[in-house]
């Protein structure tokens, strides 16, 4: 082995690195594959592997390049990565240093849109139960949009035509570019903090998905959701749909439609008021007519034309009732008198005095008991005979008994 150079591991790794760095193909290469072993570190660096059916390569996406990502990488996602392949001398493994990472098959923006939409949906930001009703007659409206676009002119024109009573405040922001989301969030927060309006309309005119991307920003969506003032999202043309549309209290197809939804049409309100006025007048006329008819009927009543008539009627009725009562009492008294006479006659007919008047006597013992049988006395016993005009004292000398009749003799 004399004369054969011996290299250190570091020297070999550095040599391989210089070879790879000098290869023009490997200095800027596109690689298609599936993400696996994906990890996001607190430092902001992304580490993962890309694989296909027969191989894999380690990849790293540093924070300074990752800030341009429109979507969040996930395991199993098919992507196209662009970067350079080189060796990290410390461990001797080659890897792809990504500078760009795009979704394979669908665009980055579309993928980011779907990811953000799914995330906010799971958190309940699209829940219809959380949406606030719009004021029916807003007194003040805030437009958070670009002050130079055609959209703001259309909204101002429609608001003035439909409901000129409302005061409109334009809060100027950028609606496109990297700084647009921050300005939109700040404007929404400021409008709520100072309660500058009863209703907020935020949006812009049409454009590509890239142009409208500020309204797909997660922070903008959360600012709209947190707004205590109702928000109308009016972004792009009718087919355009943004995350802001899902979070807002009301989604408008266009900025012009947003202005139409924000306020009523004064002509419709005037027509409704006119109809209400007509209905109220007809109701008052009917009420007056009914009251007039009632008054006329009451004026025709006898009690109002001749107040003493009712008193005289009552007096006549009272006299009539008095006569009826007198006749009733007289008839009742005559009936009772007749009944008393009948009872007296019946009682007189049954009186023992009537019997005594015909010559009969009532025998009584000394103790006053009426004698009913000859067997109840003995010879020598004293009796008292009650006759029609007095009584006779006597003594029994003899008793005679007959069948069914007792006979006795008396001695005065």
- What pLDDT score does 406 carry? 47
* Total-model pTM: 0.55
Residues 127 and 155: beta-carbon distance below 8 Å:
no
What is the reported pLDDT for 200? 97
DSSP bridge partners of 405: 402
Q: Nearest 5°: phi and psi at 185?
A: -60, -45
Mean pLDDT, consecutive 10-residue stretches, the chain (412 aa), reads 74 80 81 87 90 87 84 82 85 87 71 86 94 96 94 95 95 93 96 96 88 92 96 90 94 94 94 94 94 86 75 85 89 90 80 69 82 81 82 85 56 48
Question: Would you state the structure tokens that stand for residue 370, as one six-digit string?
Answer: 């009426």
For residue 201, which of 148, 268, 138 has the smallest C-alpha distance? Answer: 138
Burial of 187 (0-12, 13-18, 19+ CB in 10 A): buried
Q: Is the dihedral of CA 350, 351, 356, 360 positive or negative?
A: positive
What confidence score (pLDDT) does residue 32 get? Answer: 85
With CA atoms as reference, report the closest residue to 385 among 408, 362, 368, 355: 362
| Sign (positive or negative) of CA dihedral 215, 219, 222, 226 | negative
DSSP SS3 for 117:
helix
Among 266, 235, 240, CA closest to 250: 235
Print the SS3 string covering 11-71.
HHHHHHHHHHHHCCCCCCEEEEEEEEEEEECCCCCEEEEEECCCCEEEEEECHHHHCCCCC
Per DSSP, 134 falls in state P
Given a contact cutoff of 8 angstroms between Cβ atoms, the answer to whether 377 and 352 are in contact is no
Tokens standing for residue 214: 């500020």
* pLDDT (0 to 100) of residue 221: 96
What local confidence, expressed as pLDDT, does residue 20 receive?
78
pLDDT at 373 (0 to 100):
81
Whole-angstrom distance, CA of residue 391 vs CA of residue 233? 134
Distance CA 186, CA 234 (A): 18
């Amino acid at each position: 082995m004399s004369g054969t150079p011996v290299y250190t591991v570091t020297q070999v790794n550095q040599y391989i690195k210089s070879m790879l760095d000098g290869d023009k193909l490997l200095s800027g290469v596109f690689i298609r594959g599936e993400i696996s072993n994906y990890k996001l570190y607190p430092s902001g660096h992304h580490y993962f592997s890309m694989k296909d059916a027969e191989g894999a390569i380690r990849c790293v996406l540093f924070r300074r390049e990752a800030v341009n990502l429109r979507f969040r990488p996930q395991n199993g996602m098919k992507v196209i990565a662009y970067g350079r392949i080189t060796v990290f001398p410390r461990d001797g493994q080659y890897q792809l240093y990504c500078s760009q990472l795009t979704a394979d098959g669908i665009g980055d923006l579309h993928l980011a849109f779907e990811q953000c939409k799914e995330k906010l949906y799971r958190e309940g930001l699209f829940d219809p139960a959380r949406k606030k009703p719009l004021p029916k007659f807003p007194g003040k409206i805030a437009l958070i949009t670009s002050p130079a676009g055609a959209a703001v002119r259309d909204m101002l024109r429609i608001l003035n035509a439909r409901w000129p009573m409302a005061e409109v405040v334009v809060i100027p922001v950028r609606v496109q570019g990297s700084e647009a989301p921050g300005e939109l969030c700040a404007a929404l927060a400021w409008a709520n903090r100072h309660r500058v309006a009863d209703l907020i309309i935020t949006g812009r005119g049409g454009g590509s998905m890239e142009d409208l991307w500020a309204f797909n920003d997660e922070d903008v969506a959360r600012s709209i959701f947190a707004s205590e003032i109702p928000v109308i999202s009016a972004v792009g043309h009718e087919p355009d749909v943004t995350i802001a549309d899902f979070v807002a209290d009301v989604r408008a197809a266009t900025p012009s439609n947003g202005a139409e939804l924000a306020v009523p049409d004064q002509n419709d309100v005037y027509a409704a008021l006119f109809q209400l006025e007509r209905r109220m007048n007809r109701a008052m006329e009917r009420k007056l007519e009914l009251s007039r008819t009632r008054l006329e009927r009451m004026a025709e009543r006898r009690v109002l034309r001749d107040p003493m008539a009712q008193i005289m009627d009552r007096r006549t009725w009272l006299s009539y009732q008095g006569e009826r009562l007198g006749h009733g009492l007289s008839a009742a008294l005559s009936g009772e008198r007749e009944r008393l006479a009948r009872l007296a006659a019946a009682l007189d007919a049954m009186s023992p005095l009537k019997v005594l008047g015909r010559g009969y006597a009532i025998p009584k013992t000394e103790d006053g008991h009426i004698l009913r049988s000859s067997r109840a006395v003995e010879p020598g016993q004293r009796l008292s005979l009650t006759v029609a005009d007095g009584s006779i004292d006597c003594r029994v000398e003899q008793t005679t008994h007959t069948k069914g009749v007792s006979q006795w003799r008396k001695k005065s």
